[in-house]
């Protein structure tokens, strides 16, 4: 493994921000730290970067103990949410800054900058200043600058959150494409589940300074292990054993032995609907999302969410019945 983290803890005064966090990151892996504000993901990234000390545990890259190496000598590339470009430098000067302070020859700096500008697809912007660029262009410059020093690890701290939705979607693809081509291990902090699901090889879902679950995007979506992960990564209908049996007795066929302490997480697309004038469920809200519609249904005092093709003509007030496959859903720790 390229990066090795074991039992890392961090206190700010009496407050414990990280609780014995352990994680390994492969040599070409893209890992997303996902969680709500205050969960510890940015603190963990800053510790890895060397911008924050930690109180206990082990942090290594290869065989190097990072506790003994300060931030500027770790050889990591870092991209912040605010881009942090030098306003008085051109695009080319910003990208080449790290090489210049490492005293690279001018011709090699220029060649490296040209290569990186081709890589991030804006060779024509070399002489522009940051204030003359769009948000997406500034972010490309920040990424190119981080890549210029051939980093052993690329760290991204909410790099897309300041961009509008269309540019954010484009940049997801571009960042992932560049990372794959260069094979640089990358850790990205985000609170955006869609960002994590579309970009990561593995997602580290965090809550209250602890890791709730680590796995592929498919693992966390299809096989969440806890109530928090089921609720934070996508949308889930959470049902106790009694309610699940009331919805469909077949749902209990795959319940674990300790189901009394667990809930059934049923994704909206797993909860089918059909019109039924005598049904005991009633549509309360319909949200059009293009090719699908999200339907909120009131059933025995509980709101459930279903996603159906938008061609299905459900309207608020309609009476419906549920159609659920016997093996649908995943039982999670409450």
At 12 the pLDDT is 96
Q: For residue 258, is pLDDT > 80?
A: no
Counting Cβ atoms within 10 Å, is residue 321 exposed (0-12), middle (13-18) or buried (19+)? middle
What does the domain layout of the chain look like in residue ranges? 3-228, 238-333
- Of 133, 199, 132, the C-alpha closest to 168 is 199
- What does the angle CA 135 – CA 51 – CA 173 come to, to the nearest 5 degrees? 35
Task: Count the helices and strands in the chain (H runs, E runs).
Answer: 9, 18
Confidence of residue 161 (pLDDT cuts 50, 70, 90): confident
User: What is the rounded distance in angstroms from the CA atom of residue 191 to the CA atom of residue 159?
Assistant: 11
Could you report how far apart the first and last alpha carbons of the chain are, in Å? Answer: 32
Say yes or no: domain 3-228 is CATH 3.40.50.300.
yes
Model-level pTM? 0.90
Give me the architecture of the 238-333 domain, per CATH: Beta Barrel (2.40)
Confidence of residue 307 (pLDDT cuts 50, 70, 90): very high
Q: What is the pLDDT of residues 64-95, one digit of tens each?
A: 999 989 998 898 999 988 778 899 999 999 99
Q: Quick count: other Cβ atoms within 10 Å of Cβ 300?
A: 10
Q: For residue 259, is pLDDT > 90?
A: no
At 1 the pLDDT is 56
Residue 201 phi, psi dihedral angles, 5° rounding: -75, -40
| Residues contacting 106, CB < 8 A, separation 6+ | none
Residue 97 phi, psi dihedral angles, 5° rounding: -60, -45
Q: What is the pLDDT of residues 282-299, one digit of tens each?
A: 999 999 999 999 999 999
Residues 251 and 285: beta-carbon distance below 8 Å: no
Mean pLDDT check: name the lowest of 199-208, 229-238, 310-319.
Answer: 310-319
User: What is the rounded distance in angstroms from the CA atom of residue 121 to the CA atom of residue 117?
Assistant: 6
User: What is the rounded distance in angstroms from the CA atom of residue 4 to the CA atom of residue 27?
Assistant: 11
Q: What is the pLDDT of residues 16-67, one digit of tens each?
A: 999 999 999 999 999 999 999 999 999 999 999 999 999 999 999 998 999 9
Residue 138 phi, psi dihedral angles, 5° rounding: -60, -40
């Amino acid at each position: 493994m390229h990066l090795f983290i074991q039992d890392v803890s961090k206190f700010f005064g009496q407050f414990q921000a990280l609780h014995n966090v352990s994680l390994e990151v492969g040599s070409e892996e893209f890992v997303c730290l996902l969680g709500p504000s205050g969960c510890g993901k940015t603190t963990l990234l800053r510790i890895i970067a060397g911008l924050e000390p930690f109180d206990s545990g082990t942090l290594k890259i290869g065989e190097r103990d990072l506790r003994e190496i300060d931030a500027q000598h770790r050889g990591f590339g870092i991209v912040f949410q605010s881009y942090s470009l030098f306003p008085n430098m051109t695009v080319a000067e910003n990208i080449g800054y790290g090489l210049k302070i490492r005293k690279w020859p001018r011709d090699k700096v220029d060649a490296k900058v040209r290569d990186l500008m081709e890589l991030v697809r804006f060779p024509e912007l070399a002489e522009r200043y940051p204030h003359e660029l769009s948000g997406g262009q500034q972010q490309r410059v920040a990424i190119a600058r981080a890549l210029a020093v051939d980093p052993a690890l690329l760290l991204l701290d909410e790099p897309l959150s300041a961009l509008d939705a269309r540019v954010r979607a484009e940049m997801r693809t571009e960042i992932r494409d560049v990372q794959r081509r260069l094979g640089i291990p990358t850790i990205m902090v985000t609170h955006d589940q869609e960002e994590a699901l579309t970009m990561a090889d593995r997602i580290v879902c965090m809550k209250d300074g602890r890791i709730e679950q680590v796995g592929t995007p498919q693992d966390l979506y299809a096989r969440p292990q806890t109530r928090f992960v089921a609720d934070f990564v996508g949308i889930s209908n959470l049902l106790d054993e009694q309610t699940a049996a009331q919805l469909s007795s077949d749902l209990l066929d795959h319940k674990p032995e300790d189901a009394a302490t667990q809930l059934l997480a049923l994704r909206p697309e797993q909860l089918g609907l059909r019109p039924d004038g005598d049904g005991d469920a009633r549509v309360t809200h319909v949200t059009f999302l293009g090719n699908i519609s999200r339907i909120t249904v009131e059933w025995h005092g509980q709101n459930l969410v279903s996603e159906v093709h938008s061609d299905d003509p459900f309207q608020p007030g309609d009476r419906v019945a549920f159609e659920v496959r016997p093996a649908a859903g995943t039982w999670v720790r409450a």
